[in-house]
């Protein structure tokens, strides 16, 4: 799921939720979006109406951007499915063993990914897979227990 058109990307989220609610077939990325939304009922109402303002959906009461949050869920799901970067699946299994709730394990991975992406963006470089894997290995030490 890649595009430089933020609005087009956001419409994919709205369409996925609409297809799910209408019991229409979902494509690959729509399935990942719906899985993430099902794990986050607090966001579901934001995606019920594609004509609603994206700015409204972009900020929730918790000050979490739901597009970013759900996008990180999708990125982590794709990493686990492909073991990319190599070694991420073993870290996933270790984290999943720490928390019986796979959702919490994914959130721990998302925190590491978000930090890695932020650092890369700040430095104007590609994300550092080695640094990301090191952050995962260090989890849960020093990480919040959401």
Q: Token pair 């934001």 is at which residue? A: 46
What DSSP state is assigned to residue 99?
-
pLDDT number for residue 6: 84
Q: How many helices (H) and strands (E) does the chain have?
A: 8, 0
Burial class (CB in 10 A: 0-12, 13-18, 19+), 81: exposed
Q: Of the candidates 87, 86, 104, which has an alpha carbon nearest to the alpha carbon of residue 95? A: 104
Domain ranges of the chain: 1-60, 83-146
List, for residues 49-106, the tens digit of each pLDDT value. 766 655 555 555 567 889 999 999 999 999 999 999 999 999 999 999 998 788 999 9
pLDDT number for residue 54: 52
pLDDT number for residue 49: 74
pLDDT number for residue 8: 87
The pTM score is 0.85
CA distance 95 to 56: 33
pLDDT number for residue 95: 94
List, for residues 7-22, the tens digit of each pLDDT value. 888 889 999 999 999 9
DSSP letter for each residue of 1-66: ---S-HHHHHHHHHHHHHHHHTT----HHHHHHHHHHHT-HHHHGGGS-TTS-HHHHH--TTS--H
pLDDT number for residue 1: 54
For range 37-52, the mean pLDDT:
85
pLDDT number for residue 117: 96
Q: Residues 65, 55: contact at Cβ < 8 Å?
A: no
**37: CB partners within 8 A, 6+ apart:** 16, 17, 20, 43, 44, 47, 70
């Amino acid at each position: 799921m890649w595009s430089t058109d933020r609005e087009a990307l956001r419409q994919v989220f709205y369409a996925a939720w609409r297809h799910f609610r209408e019991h229409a077939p979902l494509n690959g990325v729509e399935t990942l979006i719906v899985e993430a939304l099902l794990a986050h009922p607090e966001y579901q109402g934001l995606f019920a109406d594609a004509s609603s303002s994206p700015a409204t959906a972009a900020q929730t009461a918790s000050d979490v951007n739901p597009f970013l949050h759900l996008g990180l869920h999708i990125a982590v799901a794709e990493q686990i499915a492909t073991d990319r970067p190599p070694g991420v699946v073993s870290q996933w299994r270790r984290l999943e063993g720490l928390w019986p709730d796979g959702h919490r394990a994914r959130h721990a991975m998302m925190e590491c990914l978000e930090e890695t992406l932020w650092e890369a963006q700040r430095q104007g470089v590609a994300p550092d897979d080695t640094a990301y894997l090191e952050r995962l290995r260090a989890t849960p030490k020093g990480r919040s227990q959401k």
